[in-house]
Chains A and B, each alone.
Chain A
Amino acid sequence: MKHFLDITRETCPMTFVKVKLRLAKMDAGEKLEVLLNAGEPLENVPRSCEEQGFKVLSNEPTDNGKHLLLIEK
């Protein structure tokens, strides 16, 4: 099952807080697609996910200057 979370309107610390809380509610093996802005969120969300043992499967820029991150719990 794939979940989706848009954090483009969030600011620090709610960017990675919301990602963390969503991942906590998911089962192992499920995937989470996160739409985020470049800059601080793009630098820190993938890193903090990997530090916590989650897999960042892809990290692709979108047409409108944002990024789409695919994380597996």
Chain B
Amino acid sequence: MSQPVVDKKKISIVCFSGEFDKMLAAYTIATGAAATNREVTMFFTFWGLNALKKQRGRKPIGKDFLSRVFNWLMGGRNNLSLSRLNFGGASPILMGGMMRKNNVAQLDELMEAASELGIRHFACEMSMHILGISKDDLIDDVQSVVGVATFLNESEDAHIIFI
């Protein structure tokens, strides 16, 4: 995407917790920042990786028995829980309905916009190793699998937000 202004502010968002409402917050900040000409990097680690899985539901992906159980229990983007008042997974569905009613962008729409805006998605190598998942298990928007040193290098002079 061509940019009329060269000098850009930078924001890096660490997506750690991966809950429905916190992913919404992360993508709202990310897309808002990118749309106002900031260079945005998102770094997904631990529970945050669930939102990036190609398999949106519960699938036993992983390299061994334990990781398969873990990934089935965590699920994908369709299984993200609310950080409060989750009520066994009912609340995210209700929340989605309330968002639609009020014309607030859904997570899918925000993620699509993030992709179009050229937001960089990095996945944490260490978390993926623990959870036994590979880059092929994640959506194509994931640019690369990196360690913390690369993330910090890429986030030089950036505001870092931890969600």
Contacts and interface: CB of A to CB of B under 8 A. Distances in A.
Interface of A: 9-14, 16-17, 19-21, 24, 44, 48, 51-54
Contact of B31 (A17, A24, A52, A54): A17
B35 A48 contact: yes
Given A48-B36, A52-B3, A21 B103 contact: no
Interface size on B, as a range, is 20 to 34
Given A17-B34, A51-B37, 15 more contacts: A9-B103, A13-B28, A13-B31, A16-B36, A17-B32, A17-B35, A20-B34, A20-B117, A24-B1, A24-B2, A48-B35, A48-B36, A53-B4, A53-B5, A54-B4
Interface of B: 1-5, 28-29, 31-32, 34-37, 102-105, 109-110, 113, 116-117
A12 B117 contact: no
A13 B105 contact: yes
A44 B35 CA distance: 11
B4 A17 contact: no
Contacts of A10: 103, 105
Contact of A51 (B1, B31, B36): B36
B5 to A, nearest CB: 5
B117 A52 contact: no
Contact of B35 (A9, A13, A54): A13
B110 to A, nearest CB: 8
Contact of A14 (B2, B37, B109): B109
A52 B37 CA distance: 6
Contacts of A48: 35-37
A6 to B, nearest CB: 12
Contacts of B110: 13
Contacts of A13: 28-29, 31-32, 35, 105, 110
7 contacts: A17-B113, A21-B113, A21-B116, A48-B35, A52-B4, A52-B5, A53-B4
A11 B110 CA distance: 12
Nearest to B36: A48
Contacts of A11: 102-105
